[in-house]
């Protein structure tokens, strides 16, 4: 599989949102594959437990919504473990919403973590990558960012913003030697999706999702998405006219 020189040679990955779910599983996978893996989340205890179970993992707790903390954290990580060759910006959350419960404060909270958390991390890692003229950014969004879906006004908007951010950064990344990818998962069985009260189509086991995620990181395609059957169906919805899209989604979700 094709790999760009910086990522392939130095192999130090920083993964945010790594205390549970896809982030945790990806950290374990990449450590087993020989990467030096720095993991971040707000929970020091969970990160320490992960590092104890899997050699090659270095914990560094931080809050991605705190820009100055992220800048200081990246500096400390690189001083301790070396330059970050790949940043997997995975921290995020989801809470269902509706018109009846809509509050600006809740939308802002989701945007601060899911979108500004990614922005803060990009801000912190880019100077070093630009100086080295190499690096790899993987911004984790979601298939839910492709079109507006019921009960996901804040979540979908935050993920759509991450997709647009990645798309915009790629133009300069190609010119400056920094690989940019966006990761758009569908439904993956994690503690977050366990909270969903509806049947999730093409629900994927986390181990299978991480395998697809890791393989995608090693390739040059801009977008990494899984499971492919769900992504294929959602791409069809993405191209539909509004009248048909609203009718089919309403029928499928009961909303």
221: CATH: 3.40.50.720
Q: What is the pLDDT of residue 124?
A: 98
Selected catalytic residue, list 115, 155, 214, 242: 155
92 CB-near residues (< 8 Å, 6+ apart): 17, 113, 114, 117, 140, 158, 159
The pLDDT value given to residue 190: 65
Please give the residue range of the domain that contains residue 153: 5-253
As for how many domains the chain has, the answer is: 1
- pLDDT, residue 192, reads 63
**pLDDT given for residue 250 in this prediction:** 87
Is 214 annotated as catalytic?
A: no
Torsion sign over Cα 233, 18, 92, 76: negative
Per-run averaged pLDDT (10 residues), the chain, 255 residues = 43 95 95 96 96 96 98 98 97 89 95 98 98 97 92 94 98 97 85 58 82 95 92 90 91 76
| 135: Cβ contacts below 8 Å, ≥ 6 apart | 6, 7, 84, 85, 86, 87, 125, 126, 128, 129, 177, 178, 179
Model pLDDT, residue 75: 98
CB 33 within 8 A of CB 213: no
């Amino acid at each position: 599989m094709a790999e760009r020189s910086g990522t392939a040679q130095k192999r130090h990955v920083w993964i945010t949102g790594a205390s549970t779910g896809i982030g945790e599983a990806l950290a374990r996978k990449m450590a087993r594959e020989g990467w030096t893996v720095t993991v971040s989340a707000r929970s020091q205890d969970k990160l320490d437990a992960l590092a104890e179970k899997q050699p090659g993992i270095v914990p560094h707790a931080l809050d991605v919504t705190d820009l100055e903390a992220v800048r200081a954290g990246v500096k400390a990580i690189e001083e301790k473990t070396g330059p970050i060759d790949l940043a997997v910006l995975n921290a995020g959350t989801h809470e269902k919403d509706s018109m009846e419960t809509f509050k600006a404060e809740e939308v802002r909270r989701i945007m601060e973590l899911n979108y500004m958390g990614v922005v803060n991390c990009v801000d912190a890692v880019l100077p070093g990558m630009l100086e080295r003229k190499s690096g790899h950014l993987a911004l984790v969004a979601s298939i839910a960012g492709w079109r507006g879906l019921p009960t996901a006004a804040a979540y979908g908007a935050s993920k759509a913003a991450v997709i647009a951010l990645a798309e915009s950064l790629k133009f300069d990344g190609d010119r400056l030697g920094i690989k940019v990818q966006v990761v758009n998962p569908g439904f993956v069985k994690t503690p977050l999706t366990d909270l969903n009260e509806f049947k999730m189509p093409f629900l994927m086991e986390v181990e299978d999702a991480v395998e697809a995620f890791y393989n995608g990181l090693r390739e040059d395609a801009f977008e990494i998405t899984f499971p492919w059957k769900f992504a294929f169906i959602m791409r069809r919805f993405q191209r539909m006219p509004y009248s048909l899209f609203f009718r089919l989604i309403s029928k499928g979700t009961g909303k």
